[in-house]
Amino acid sequence: MSQISGFSKLTKLQKIDWLTTHYLSDYPKAKTIIKQYWNTDEALQKLHDEFTENTISNYYLPLGVAPNFNIDDKLYAIPMAIEESSVIAAASKAAKFWLDKGGFNTKILGTTKVGHVHFNYYGDSKQLEEFFKNIKTQFFAATTSITRNMEKRGGGIKDIQLIDKTGDLENYYQLYCTFETVDAMGANFINSCLEQFGQTLEAEARADKALAAEGTFPEVIMCILSNYVPECLVRAEVSCPVAELGETKAEAEQFVKKFSRAIKIAEIEPYRAVTHNKGIMNGIDAVVLATGNDFRAVEAGVHAYAARKGHYSSLTHVRVENGIFRFWIEVPLALGTIGGLTSLHPLVKLSMAMLNHPSAEELMRIAAVAGLAQNFAAVNSLVTTGIQKGHMKMHLMNILNQFEANETERTKAIEYFKTNTVTHSEVIHLLEKMRS
C-alpha cells in the first residue's frame, strides 16, 4: 500500500498504472477489466469521465423496462436501472395484474422543498424576532438575481420563517425556508439562495442598532437544503372488488386477509418494516437511477418520512371497506426532469423520452407507482408461494454465470430447475454432477 500526493493531477492511464502497481499487483486482469468497460466513442467516454472525479472506468448497471403500467389512464413502459434479480419481473407482473382493474391512480399532495440557515444567537430571542420581522423582505430582495429564471418557470422562494430551536440545543436558531423548483430537483438553486440568506442575515445584523446595542449578532453555522421533504409528497393507489383477487370467493378472502395482515405487521414491527420498505425502494430507486436523479437523497428522505411518527413503519397501507380492496402509498419524492444528468447522460435522456418527457410531478407519480407495484408483488409472493420461489429462479442465471457454466450446462440447469427448488448449494451440486 502506498500514499500519493497529487493523484487527481495524473492522467487516467497514470492513475490506473499507480493503482495496479500499488493496490492491484496480485490481480493480473485488472487493467484489462478496467479498460474493457471504456466506451469506444471517445466523446461519450469523456462525458462519463467528467461526471465525477478520478475516473478510471465505467460501472454498468442493467437498464430494463417494465411495460403495461396504466397510470391515471395512460400507458407507460417504465425504465428501471437495477442489478437485483426479479425486481423488474415483479414490477411487470404487478402492472399486468392491475392493468384491467383500473390501473394505478395518483395524486400530487405537495411539491414544496425545504432548506435551512442554521445559526447561533446568544442574545434575547424577542430582540431577534423583532429584527427578523424588520428585515424579512431583504432576504427576497438579495436573491432576485438567483430567483429570476426560476420565477419565470413558476417557482421560487415560498416563505422564510425564524425558528427558535433553543429548547433542543442551546443558542440554536434556524431560518426555515421553503421553495418551489418546478421541474428541477433544485439543489443548486436552493443552496445558492440559502447561502445568500446567510450573508444577508449577518450583514443586516451588523447594521442593526438594537442588536449592536445588545452586543451580540447571529453567527451562521451552515446553509444547506434538506433531503427530508414531507411536503413534496405523492400518493399512488390501486383498488378493486375483493372478489377479483382470487379464483373463488374463499380464495380471494383468504388472500386479502393474509395480505392485509402482512401490511399491518409492517406498520407496527420495525424489523419487518425496514425490509418491506427496502422492497418498495427497489422499484423507486430503479426509476430514480434510470432518470438520472439522486437516489441517495430520495432514500434518506423516504426513510425519515417512514419514521416521522416516532417509530419506523410501512410506507404502504391497506383498507377493505364494503367489499373493496384498497392499497396505497404516500411517499416524499423530490425529483427533477431538467438539469444535472437529465440533460447530459444519453441513457437518461432515452429514459425520459421513453416516459414521453415527463414533468417533475409526472415523474413523482411514475416512481411512486413503481414502488407500490413492487411492494404488491413482493407481499403477494410472501403470503402465497413464498418469496424465494420466484426470486431464486431469476437468480439462477447469476449463479450459473458465477461458476462459468457453458451453454450445455446452462440449458440442462434451466430445464432441471423448472421442477426443482433453486438454491445456491443445489446449483453447485448439479454443476459438479454434470462436470464429473
For residue 400, what pLDDT band results from cuts at 50, 70 and 90? Answer: confident
Question: Considering Cα of 137, then 138, then 141, then 147, what sign does the dihedral take?
Answer: negative
**% residues pLDDT > 70 (the chain):** 97
The angle at the Cα of 275, spanning 273 to 278, to the nearest 5 degrees, equals 105
Separation CA 373–CA 218 (nearest Å): 49
Q: Name 222's bridge partners.
A: 118
Please identify which residue in the block is written with the cell numbers 429514459.
Answer: 351
Phi, psi dihedral angles at 335 (to 5 degrees): -120, 160
Q: What is the CA radius of gyration of the chain?
A: 27
Contact between residue 362 and residue 207 where contact means Cβ atoms under 8 Å apart: no
Query: What is the per-residue pLDDT for 68?
Result: 98
Domains of the chain (ranges, CATH numbers): 7-49 (no CATH), 63-110+233-384 (3.90.770.10), 113-225 (3.30.70.420), 391-435 (no CATH)
How do residues 133-182 score in pLDDT, each as one tens digit?
999 999 999 999 999 999 999 999 999 999 999 999 999 999 999 999 99
Provide mean pLDDT across the span 417-423. 77
pLDDT for 386 beyond 90: no
pLDDT for 370 beyond 90: yes
Kindly list the catalytic residues. Answer: 84, 278, 294, 391
Separation CA 398–CA 261 (nearest Å): 33
Query: What is the per-residue pLDDT for 329?
Result: 98
Q: Is residue 332 classed as helix, strand or coil in its secondary structure?
A: strand
Residue 214 neighbours by CB distance under 10 Å: 15
Considering the chain, what is the average pLDDT of its residues?
94
Q: Which regions of 263-405 does DSSP assign to beta strands (E)?
A: 316-321, 324-332
pTM for this prediction: 0.89
- DSSP at 82: -
How do residues 300-358 score in pLDDT, each as one tens digit?
999 999 999 999 999 999 999 999 999 999 999 999 999 888 889 999 999 999 999 99
Which is nearest to 146 in space by CA: 109, 186, 90?
Answer: 186
